[in-house]
Copies of this chain bind each other. A is one copy, B any other.
């Protein structure tokens, strides 16, 4: 498998976490978002969404990180990212998809560029925007974790939810969002960061990190 990604892209980071947790070997091919390499040929012919990550696997160029994570778990049932129980699967997906659907898009680089270039917003306004949407989703995720009385992980070991959460917390810190009212998710973060899988997936440890 070959992963086309960018070291600091949260969806690339998410997919690296998932691949590492499943113990699947992959090569990496960096795509430089700052140089808009994702919109150049031949990349865009393979991935018309012009996004990272893209996973070349089993004869197909796969372009959407959540769909890829679900596929990995169905295609390679070893080391599952979702629990076996249908109700627990729902809980992991509710929290994972909350972050992936509500939170990812307004914080995505093309959106931030649009705010700057089309709406003339300065960095302070963009930082406030970023923190506003982080709070809107991370606060209720924290409430759900509290109701579930989580410990080091959502369930007994990290999986889909943790693969989505950890990159978003990395982003939250970059944008100065305070996690002090989020003890449940920061406990999960600390537990994950002690694992070699998350260490290997970290942006700072990627070939294109700078």
A binding-site residues for B, Cβ under 8 Å: 48-51, 58, 60, 62-64, 66-68, 70-71, 74-75, 86-87, 89-90, 93-94, 96-98, 100-106, 108, 110-111, 114-115, 118-119, 121, 125, 128-129, 132-133, 136-137, 139-140, 143-144
Contacts and interface: CB of A to CB of B under 8 A. Distances in A.
Nearest to A58: B87
Q: Which 10 A-B pairs rank lowest in CB-CB distance, beginning with the nearest? A: A105-B105, A48-B140, A67-B93, A48-B143, A71-B90, A67-B94, A49-B140, A64-B94, A67-B97, A64-B97
Nearest to A110: B136
A133 B90 CA distance: 29
A63 B94 CA distance: 7
Contact of A98 (B63, B70, B71, B90): B63
A183 to B, nearest CB: 16
Nearest to A120: B119
A50 B105 contact: no
B49 A71 contact: no
A119 B115 contact: yes
Contacts of A121: 119
B70 A89 contact: yes
A102 B105 contact: yes
A130 to B, nearest CB: 12
Contacts of A144: 48
A86 B129 CA distance: 39
Contacts of A104: 101-102, 105
B140 A50 contact: yes
Contacts of A89: 70-71, 74
8 contacts: A49-B140, A67-B90, A67-B93, A68-B90, A70-B89, A71-B89, A71-B93, A104-B105
